[in-house]
Amino acid sequence: MRTDLHCHSTASDGIHSPRQLVALARRRAIDVIALTDHDTIAGHAEAQAAGREHGVRVIPGIECSALGGQGETHVLGYGVEPTDEATRNTLLGLRETRVSRARKILARLAQSGIGIDFARVQKLAGDGMIGRPHIARAMMEVQAVTSIQEAFDVFLGEGKPAFVANDALDPAQAIDLIHRARGVAVLAHPGLMRGNVDVLLAEMIAHGLDGIEVYYPDHDAAQRTHYASIAAAHGLIVTGGSDYHGLTPEAVHEFGEIALPAGCIEALDARIAWRRANRDRSAG
């Protein structure tokens, strides 16, 4: 079974619509995907309808941005299906924090002599959530950089002059939001994070973290072994995915490139079922 449990569509900052992403999965013989757009679940209905059409299982997901003591943190939510209005409204409110963040980034770019009109960034994002890749594309249009990667390496990446953290949630709040939406919370790509990730992991595990994205294209063998051992020691599930955004000249990760060990999908399904059962009981 081929899987990809970390991918993005035009609902956030991917270049394929949810329907196109599912069709691509079918062409690449990927059996299961999780649509994990940044801070939104807007693409779920379209992706699941396309999944039924193409015979691809689509797990409804999200990638929540958070800010904690270790810097920016991303928390993947799997199986998220909010049933209460308060949770849905919280998810909708995340869009406004991204708009505010984009405006702050543009202001910092202006201080570096790069003038980008917010309306252009908004147009590039379309109906999706505004993200840094949209700003990077606008920077390419005004020839401030030659590639999206250069935009991140020089200006937009964490610690760079125009970086602005997405401070809508802290890691514990991200976990709580995912759990309220009947989902499973998994720390995304810990190997990319700054600071002492093990300290952050201990805090998140104490707060109910369900798993770790162990299998990620930029994790080396030592990192995979390390994070897998932490997961095993604390009874956490392990997941993995490509973090696919689209086939562009700057694309780093190939859709479906991560091979998960046997049993990972079954363990994820069991944890989703457990979370939903306990959420439904507490809600009732």
Q: What digits encode the pLDDT tens for the residues 131-176?
A: 898 999 999 999 999 998 999 999 999 889 999 987 678 899 999 9
Percent of the chain whose pLDDT exceeds 70: 95
Residues 186-215 have a mean pLDDT of 95
- When mean pLDDT is compared across 3-12, 52-61, 65-74, the lowest value belongs to 65-74
CA angle 43, 140, 73 (to 5 degrees): 50
Say how far apart CA 147 and CA 139 lie, in whole Å: 9
Q: What is residue 174's predicted lDDT score, i.e. its pLDDT?
A: 95
Q: What is residue 102's predicted lDDT score, i.e. its pLDDT?
A: 93
Question: CATH assignment of 3-91+169-283, given 3.40.50.300, 3.20.20.140, 3.30.110.30, 3.40.50.9100?
Answer: 3.20.20.140
Confidence grade of residue 95 (pLDDT, cut at 50, 70, 90): confident
Percent of the chain whose pLDDT exceeds 90: 73
Q: What digits encode the pLDDT tens for the residues 99-119?
A: 889 999 999 999 999 999 999
Say how far apart CA 212 and CA 230 lie, in whole Å: 9
Residues 252-271 have a mean pLDDT of 93
Q: Where are the domains of the chain?
A: 3-91+169-283, 96-156
The phi, psi pair for 97, rounded to 5°, reads -65, -30
- Look at residues 6, 174, 9, 182 and name the one whose alpha carbon lies nearest to residue 94: 174
Do residues 36 and 67 touch, judged by C-beta distance below 8 A?
Answer: no
Confidence grade of residue 248 (pLDDT, cut at 50, 70, 90): low
- Look at residues 194, 209, 255, 223 and name the one whose alpha carbon lies nearest to residue 35: 255
Q: What is residue 284's predicted lDDT score, i.e. its pLDDT?
A: 42
Residues 229-249 have a mean pLDDT of 91
- Average model confidence (pLDDT) across the chain: 91
Query: Which SS3 state, helix, strand or coil, does residue 251 take?
Result: coil
Residue with tokens 């002599």: 113
Residue 111: how many CB atoms within 10 A of its CB? 10
User: Yes or no: is domain 96-156 CATH 3.40.50.300?
Assistant: no
User: Which structure tokens are listed for 167?
Assistant: 């401070």
Beta-bridge partner residues of 215:
240
Provide the whole-model pTM: 0.83
- Look at residues 149, 176, 195, 39 and name the one whose alpha carbon lies nearest to residue 102: 39
Q: What is residue 89's predicted lDDT score, i.e. its pLDDT?
A: 87
Do residues 265 and 3 touch, judged by C-beta distance below 8 A?
Answer: yes
Do residues 181 and 91 touch, judged by C-beta distance below 8 A?
Answer: yes
